[in-house]
Amino acid sequence: MRFFIIVICLPLLLLINACHSAGTKKDYPIHPVAFTDVSIDDNFWSPRLETNRKVTIPYCFQRCEETGRIDNFAIAGGLMEGEYEGARFNDSDVYKVIEGAAYSLSVHPDPALETYLDDLIAKIAAAQEEDGYLSTPRTIIKTGLADRFNGMYGNDERWSRCDHGHELYCVGHLYEAAVAHYLATGKRTLLEVALRNADLICSEFGPGKIRNVPGHEEIEIGLVKLYRITGAERYLNTARFFIDERGHYNGREPHGYKNDDKHCQDHKPVIEQTEPVGHVVRALYLYSGVADIAAITGDSSYLKPLNTIWNNIVGKKLYLTGNMGVQDYHEGFGEDYMLPNLKAYNETCAGIGNAMWNHRMFLLSGDSKYLDILERDLYNGILSGVSLEGNTFFYPNPLASEGEYRRSPWFHCACCPTNIARFMPSIPGYVYAHRGDAVYVNLFIAGTGLINLPGNPVNLKQETEYPWEGMVRITVDPQKSDEFGINIRIPGWSQNRVVPSDLYTYMDRNEDQVTLTVNGGKVEIELENGFAGIRRVWEKGDLIEMHLPMSIRNVSAHAGVKEDQGKVALERGPIVYCAEGIDNNGKALQLTLPEQQDLSVQYLPELLNGVAVISDQQNEFMAIPYFAWAHRGDSEMAVWLNADRN
Ligand code: FUB
Ligand code: ZN
């Protein structure tokens, strides 16, 4: 018990202390309930999270070892002899897996994993140069860097290619990992490395110093996390500098660059940006960082670009699965309405970046439209990125396949597997939030959440078979009977809205209504920002029951999306479906869905670890959830099916 108090409570006390000593800090108006206060006990999610903990995280560490990613730290630190191995941003993969492992440790003590991390962190600490600089390629290779990395890492001088060098990107992931590790274990080992590095960067970059920005955003998010934990303004100021300096490249000599400026969202000042451009993951990490700065500084000038860009994406650039990016565009955004299915890029990291950004937009605004995107992305765009077994991964997630596209065990650029490793354990942190004396129930995942309303901690227990069934039961257990609000998200899809734009439309109108009761008594649903708010004096054991209509829905795409004209996609609840050849006489791309459909839903516990399929016995048609495709050998796949609509 004493061990528990020291290990678990000490970092939290230190965090609270840091916040207090730094004064009352402004932040998001809505507070997420930390994943450590949410316990998942859910037939859909628990197996996926366990697989991530037991398979994906150790597997990613193993691959980091086998591919020299970990040796790079040991070599840079003089602990072993050898050459630098791999791509210039490989350090980031190790940091991301550490972040995931730390999240896992926070809720699942594992002494062996903790010892493994101690050893690994000792190597990282050894690789750090005297003044705090940390980037193993430069430390190991020293000269000839430009030749080694085709000029992309710069010459032998630090920060000489901020656009593509990734020195600043990698340490952003270091900061996130360090904060996670500190909060999980109370150990400052990695945090000290991160702080020394951040101090160096704060002393080198800024007005009157190097005026340049990272071509791949991420450090902004990491610096904000360091600021929150230490209260030190320099981290916040440098994060803000990296955002505000974007688009002001004139005069950045000798560290400036003028090429690829759209690719790196460096074409205009952020507050003048009106549409998403360039590399998708970079952009989504930027928008997440901008949301953080908007929340903490209270500067509303950041909201206009965030809202305008969001509207453009959701109205014109979002795939049905909640992800984005088009092949042949350098991992980037395509033109408006350019949403090819075979050539969709939809990088798994982009799916994760989109969830991170939309969560922040919800925390800023309280509007559930952001959670609608987050949920769509979570169940479809992100989850398809990792196999049910947890050890093979998609990098792009197309919406159609000619049959030879498979998940891979690893990639030379392994950003996606390691992003999955850290994202999955963070999912419980998206379920609840609170503001003042009101709780938000954002996602429907069985388990419990402890919501610290002022003076009255409230436990909520969710029971549900979502996403397969629409019944959600929430038992309320406040410390004391008192009045407070519970805001329950009513998903856009249950309100006949596929996405918060006209990009996709349900072709049929579902008249089934959402119903809501408290202790069996009907509650009239009045939506505010997409939430049904119930304010009353809550007693221990009060029961909320919500029923969401789970009918099969036909979706069509906006006329601007040429490739989807004459086609239909199937959805049920938050799940997007696809047809695979293996279930449809070898065909998917040429399948036609008849207008007179006789489709039914069946839960098949033995198929793909248990999924609800949509089938039509007569036409020998079957569709499975998109996230579960490509598990049964090579086979065509299509989300958008030809529609027989004569
Ligand atoms: O550049 C580092 C990572 O590699 C990016 O985040 C991914 O999109 C991939 O390009
Ligand atoms: Zn990736």
**Strand pairing of 432-435 and 438-441?**
antiparallel
12-26 pLDDT per residue, tens: 444 434 443 344 689
Distance of CA 54 to the CA centre of its chain: 20
Residues 610-631, mean pLDDT to the nearest whole number: 94
- Residue ID of nearest Cα to ligand 1 atom 8: 281
Residues 500-505, mean pLDDT to the nearest whole number: 98
Cis amide prior to 254 (ω within 30 degrees) = yes
Whether the predicted pLDDT of 253 surpasses 60:
no
Q: What is the pLDDT of residue 387?
A: 98
**Strand pairing of 621-625 and 567-572?**
unpaired
The domain spans of the chain are 16-430, 433-489+513-547, 552-643
413 touches ligand 1 (CB under 6 Å): yes
* Region of 402 on the Ramachandran plot (φ > 0 left; ψ -120 to 50 alpha; else beta): alpha
E-strand stretches of 418-497: 432-435, 438-441, 447-453, 456-464, 471-478, 482-489
Q: What is the pLDDT of residue 645?
A: 66
The yes or no reply on domain 16-430 and CATH 1.50.10.20 is: yes
* Closest by Cα among 548, 442, 571 to 499: 571
Residues 575-588, mean pLDDT to the nearest whole number: 97
Residue in the block written with tokens 């408006």? 336
Of 93-107, 121-135, 167-181, 259-273, minimum mean pLDDT range: 259-273
Whether the predicted pLDDT of 7 surpasses 60:
no
507-524 pLDDT per residue, tens: 988 888 999 999 999 999
DSSP class of 300: G
The span from the CA of 310 to the CA of 370, in Å, is 9
With a pLDDT cut of 70, the percent of the chain lying above it is: 94
Asked if residues 562 and 337 have their Cβ atoms less than 8 Å apart, the reply is: yes
Counting from 1 in the atom list of ligand 1, the atom nearest the Cα of 416 is 7
The span from the CA of 73 to the CA of 139, in Å, is 9
Cis amide prior to 29 (ω within 30 degrees) = no
3-state SS class at 78: coil
Helices (H) and strands (E) in the chain — how many of each? 18, 24
DSSP class of 159: T
216 touches ligand 1 (CB under 6 Å): yes
E-strand stretches of 293-446: 400-401, 432-435, 438-441
Same CATH topology for 16-430 and 433-489+513-547: the answer is no
The span from the CA of 113 to the CA of 447, in Å, is 25
Q: What are phi and psi of 478, to 5 degrees?
A: -80, 155
369-416 pLDDT per residue, tens: 999 999 999 999 999 999 999 999 999 999 999 999 999 999 999 999
Q: What is the pLDDT of residue 608?
A: 98
Residues 565-574, mean pLDDT to the nearest whole number: 98
Residues 627-643, mean pLDDT to the nearest whole number: 97
Q: What is the pLDDT of residue 414?
A: 98
257 touches ligand 1 (CB under 6 Å): no
Asked if residues 628 and 608 have their Cβ atoms less than 8 Å apart, the reply is: yes
**CA dihedral (227, 231, 235, 238) positive or negative:** positive
281 touches ligand 1 (CB under 6 Å): yes
Provide CATH code, domain 433-489+513-547.
Answer: 2.60.40
Q: What is the pLDDT of residue 480?
A: 98
Counting from 1 in the atom list of ligand 1, the atom nearest the Cα of 92 is 2
3-state SS class at 5: helix
Report the mean per-residue pLDDT for the chain: 94
Residue 250 burial by CB count (10 A; 0-12/13-18/19+): exposed, middle or buried? exposed
42 touches ligand 1 (CB under 6 Å): no
Distance between Cα 348 and ligand 2 center (Å):
5
Q: What is the pLDDT of residue 644?
A: 85
85-120 pLDDT per residue, tens: 999 999 999 999 999 999 999 999 999 999 999 999
Distance of CA 370 to the CA centre of its chain: 13
